[in-house]
Structures are given as C-alpha cells and as structure tokens.
A = this chain, B = another copy of it.
C-alpha cells in the first residue's frame, strides 16, 4: 500500500521491516501479521477444550465439597441430601448458563461480567467486576496448578520438597504455550480435555448401569472418616452452606463469555453453542457423580478423593481404568489454569483499552495474543505459588468469592438491561453506551431469570464470605477494593494526560526565532568538541560550562580551552563540596530565567557511548543523570551528541 497526498505533504507506505528471528520466536513461533488475526480464531471443538477445562475440572471436587460440610454435622444422614442439593446447584447452573448465553448474543464483541456491568451499571461496578475476575483468574492458576502438583507429589513423594518449583515450572510452560497463540494452545490442550470427559462419562455410565443391575455395592475399605459425636439438627444455614460449597461446580462457567472474540464467525452462535454443550456435560457429570457418591456411600476424606472411591467401586479395584481416571483428573486440574490464561489477557486488554490498566496490556505481541497479560498472569501466579509454597489448603479460601461477585454483577446487569428493553416500544432499537438495545416481547421472563440468578449468586457469595472469612476470604475483601482504587488512579492519569495532549482550544505558541545553547563539558576532549560543533551550528549564543570538582581540573580545562575553544564562552564553576549536578542545574536555571517566549534554551550534552553497554558501569553516565533532572523543567530542550568509541 502506498498513497501520496501532495497538497498536505503526506506520504503513506507499508514499512518493509520484518521481525528478526530471535530466541523468543524459536519458542513461540514465527511472528504473525495483524491481517492474520482472523485465521487465529478457533471452532467449537477446540473452543470447548480451551474454555471448559476450568469448569469441567470442578466436577473433580464439587460433590466432595458438599459431602464435607454435611457429614461433619449429620454423619450418615448426609447421603439423603447430596442429590437434592446437587439438583439445586444444577438449576442455578442452568440459570447462569441461560444468562450467559443471552449475554453472548447481546455482546458479540466479548463480554463477561466486566462489559455487562460497565454498559448497564457504569464504571465503578465494572471495575469491581474486573478486579474480582482478574483476582480470580490469578487464583485459578495458582490453585489449579498447585492441586495438580499435589496429586503428582502424592504419587511420587520424593517430589514433595520441590512442589513450589515444579508448579512454577508448569506455569511457565503453560505461559509459553499460550504465547504461541490461542489456536495452537487449544490444539495442544484439546486431547487431555476430551480424555477427561471420556473417562468420566465412562465411569459414571458404568456406575449407573451397575446401580440398575444392582451389582454396585458401597465403597470397600473406605478411607477413615470421623463421624460427629452429636448429630446436629438439619438447618437452613447448613443446607445453604453445603449448597454454596457445592457451587464450586460453577466456577469457570463465565470463561466463554469473556473469550467470544477467540471464536470463528459466526462468533456469538459458536460461542453460545459451546457454552450450552459445556453446561450439559458439566451438569450431567456432576449429577451422576453426586448420585453415585450417595449410592456407594463415599466418605469425605483428605486421604482419598470421592472420585477415587467412585472409580475403584465402579471398576472393582485399582486397575488400568481406575488409573486412567486418576491421571485424567490430575491433568484437567492443571489445565484449568489454561482457561485463566485464555481469559485474563483478554479481560485486562479490555480494561487497558478503557484506560484502567497500563495501556501496554492492550497491545498484541508477535503471535497476536496479549503477551503482556499472559506474562503478567504467569508472574503474579508464580509469586503467589512461591509465597504460599503451593499449598492448596492455604489458597482455596481466597478463591470463588470473586467468581460469584462477578456472576452477581453480570446477571444483575443483564436484568437491568431487560428492564430498559421493557421500556422500549415494540420494534424500537436504541443504542446506549455502544451496545444495541432491541425491543423483545419476552423481556419480562428473561429479566426474572437473570434477576433470580443474580439473587442466588449474591446469596452464595455472602455465605462464602461469612463462612470462609477467617480462612483467608478477608484478604480478597481487601484486595478487590485496593485494585479498584489502583484502576481508577490509572484512569485519572490517562485522562489527565489526554487532556494535556489534546489539541482542542490549542493556540500554537510563538515561533522559535532565537536559540541559547549551553554545553556542559566534563573535560576538553573530542566528544566535547563534537557537541560544541553541533551547538555552534544552532546558534551564536553558546556557553560551555565546566564544573571543577578539583581545582586542578579547572586549570586544565582553562588551558585547553585557549587552544580548542575557538572563541566560545566557557564558564568554570568550582565546586567545593564536590557536587557535579547541582551547580550545573543552578547555572542552567539562572540562564533559563532570562529566556524570552520566542527563545529556546537547548542543553547540548556530549554523550560518550562505549562499544558495549556493560562498559557504561565504568563511567559516571552524567549525560543520563542530567537528562533525567532536566526533563522535569518546562521549556528546556535536551540534545545528546553521542560520541562513539569503537
């Protein structure tokens, strides 16, 4: 492409430079052109693998979470409650799914809780949703990789001491794969996801068939479980507590709505179908596992998971199929991190685009992914893993509040949207904050679905916050407001900058017609003379300044100047306290005070450039220090005249 606009002197052309092959490109693949973006989208099958691993992995522990709460209070009577509670959770899951399916069609440009909250509630709720989700993605990576490594180290106890390091290594690996781009990482991760789905359906299927034929007994040799001495009465709080613990099954359900832009066209349709398929798989696996868990009377235990008890009961012992289930579960737990790697960068790019995060996060790297976001997620999650020494028990209470906060905001936002749509006349279309509102006769029922979902998830969130407050949930309740504060500070900064740079009401200042030039010199040498030569080409009004730390230096400079100064003014400033920068700055300010509006004051700094950067450590780098100091003084121009030593 090449265009010329002669009248305004504008030439436009495509730059020839292609990225060099670096070590980086060996790991993450050859750079892609911006125009390649559409080829980097994924279909439904790969989309399920990329965005479902987080949600599906929760079937590995959701039933157990319910059982833990119930069994501690009412012992064996628990088994009667598991299935009903699971059905309630699946109902909630359906509501949330329907809500997100509607969201996907309303926001084809990608819109999780952040966008829905932004468009329907405004800035602050959107930033709260953003903070909640970002925190949760980070925790997803830390928790799921730690959980996977914990499984690994219970199989190989020798690895136990190196848990944190192994976990960080895995985060690094997932990061590298994600830097290659969502298409390739999807392909890499599709196999284990489908393997998990297949083995779990097989296990549940075998279990159900054996239940029908009456050949499925209870768990043989179950892990030790300490039954409560006093069976407590069943209360609403207990049911709610068990319910909210079980809603861990919902975590990850929002992933697809955040990542719509990763899908091939028609985006909304593909993403929506993928969401429904995911919800169906998730619900049936979860219900099946919960049903079978009560059938086999699985014991809640730290020593053996419910999945393990179920698998060895269904397969009559620890055989090949049993180990396949355990392996698949381990892998899906680690891979849940991948979903966060798909969503965190997209969300942070959205927030950066709105000016609430550093703008760099919205730039796409050589593989068209938001590399800064991917790297930031990997770094923060790794720090978290190292600080908590990869302990799942310590990390898990921090988890889930964020998810349910974002669910509530997202569904509340959708309810509000339906309410606004209800006020349109039939057939009317209205554009508000960039999203299109289109009249819909079913707005009332849809609003009720979303509103009910919002209330349910809000209750779950509050139960979470109360029951897990002391275990670490308080930390999240501090982190989210702090993040929101940081986001708004960033926003204020960008807004101020934009105002200051804006050309509205801008009066061009006077033309510069006179130059005054100051040349600071450390001694009289070729580099200084090169700067002097340039300075003299700018103006007749040139003053060289030498700060003499040692009086003898001053003498030397004075003598050499007679030969080499060529009549230019030299000011020697003796510095009794051996200060270098301060006398120079004071002198520059003295001159600057006399400056006229049509006059420019340029400080021409001789900058000595060694061959290798490391050699800079052998020098004072005065040029850099001086530049940093002068940058903050309005109206002073700093010119570097480099002098290369080769």
Chain A residues with a Cβ under 8 A of chain B: 1, 5, 8-19, 31-35, 358-360, 363-366, 490, 493-494, 496-497, 500-503, 506, 508-509, 511-513, 515, 524-527, 529, 533-534, 536-538, 547, 549-550, 554, 558, 560-565, 567-579, 582-583, 585-587, 600, 602, 607-610, 615, 617-620, 627, 630-634, 636-645
Contacts and interface: CB of A to CB of B under 8 A. Distances in A.
A9 B533 contact: no
14 contacts: A10-B571, A12-B574, A14-B576, A17-B577, A17-B585, A358-B617, A359-B619, A359-B620, A497-B608, A501-B643, A506-B529, A512-B537, A538-B538, A639-B640
Contacts of A524: 503
Contacts of A501: 525-527, 608, 643, 645
B639 A572 contact: no
Given A11-B571, A12-B572, A15-B547, A502 B525 contact: yes
B574 A15 contact: yes
B10 A574 contact: no
Contact of A600 (B537, B585, B634): B537
A493 B615 contact: yes
A506 B18 CA distance: 41
Contacts of A643: 500-501
Contacts of A526: 500-503, 506
A493 to B, nearest CB: 6
B10 A570 contact: yes
A600 B366 CA distance: 35
Contacts of A578: 34, 363-366
Given A10-B572, A360-B620, A512-B533, 18 more contacts: A8-B570, A10-B562, A12-B558, A13-B573, A14-B574, A14-B576, A15-B579, A34-B550, A359-B619, A365-B578, A501-B525, A501-B527, A508-B529, A509-B533, A634-B642, A634-B644, A637-B642, A639-B639
Contact of A618 (B1, B31, B358, B633): B358
Contacts of A497: 608, 610, 645
B579 A17 contact: yes
Contacts of A494: 618
A586 B564 CA distance: 36
A532 to B, nearest CB: 10
A631 to B, nearest CB: 5
A-B residue pairs, 6 tightest by C-beta: A15-B583, A501-B525, A512-B537, A12-B572, A15-B573, A17-B582
Contact of A15 (B14, B500, B586, B615): B586
A575 B15 CA distance: 6
Nearest to A366: B577
Contacts of A509: 533
Contacts of A615: 493
A432 to B, nearest CB: 24
B640 A631 contact: yes
Given A615-B493, A640-B637, A645 B500 contact: yes
Contacts of A563: 503
B503 A525 contact: yes
Contacts of A502: 525-526
A631 B607 contact: yes
A567 B13 contact: no
With a 10 A CB-CB cut-off, give which of A31, A493, A502 has the most chain B CB atoms.
A493
Contacts of A360: 620
Nearest to A15: B583
Given A500-B526, A503-B564, A577-B31, A558 B618 contact: no
Contact of A511 (B5, B13, B525, B537): B537
A64 to B, nearest CB: 40
A124 to B, nearest CB: 20
A34 B548 CA distance: 12
A128 B637 CA distance: 48
A524 B503 CA distance: 8
Nearest to A9: B569
A350 to B, nearest CB: 16
Contact of A644 (B366, B550, B579, B632): B632
B639 A582 contact: no
Nearest to A570: B10
Contact of A572 (B11, B358, B564, B571): B11
Most B CB contacts (10 A, CB to CB) among A366, A503, A565 go to: A503
A11 B583 CA distance: 15
A529 B360 CA distance: 24
B490 A618 contact: yes
Contacts of A538: 538
A560 B525 contact: no
Given A493-B610, A502-B525, A631-B642, A534 B560 contact: no
B568 A9 contact: yes
Contact of A10 (B33, B558, B609, B610): B558
A145 to B, nearest CB: 27
Contact of A570 (B9, B609, B617, B638): B9
Q: Which among A9, A34, A638 has the greatest number of chain B C-beta atoms within 10 A? A: A9
B19 A570 contact: no
A8 B562 contact: yes
A576 to B, nearest CB: 4
Given A511-B537, A576-B34, A637 B641 contact: yes
Given A9-B567, A638-B640, A586 B618 contact: no
A577 B17 CA distance: 9
A230 B640 CA distance: 77
A192 B560 CA distance: 52
Nearest to A575: B15
A10 B546 CA distance: 10
Contacts of A15: 547, 573-576, 579, 582-583, 586-587
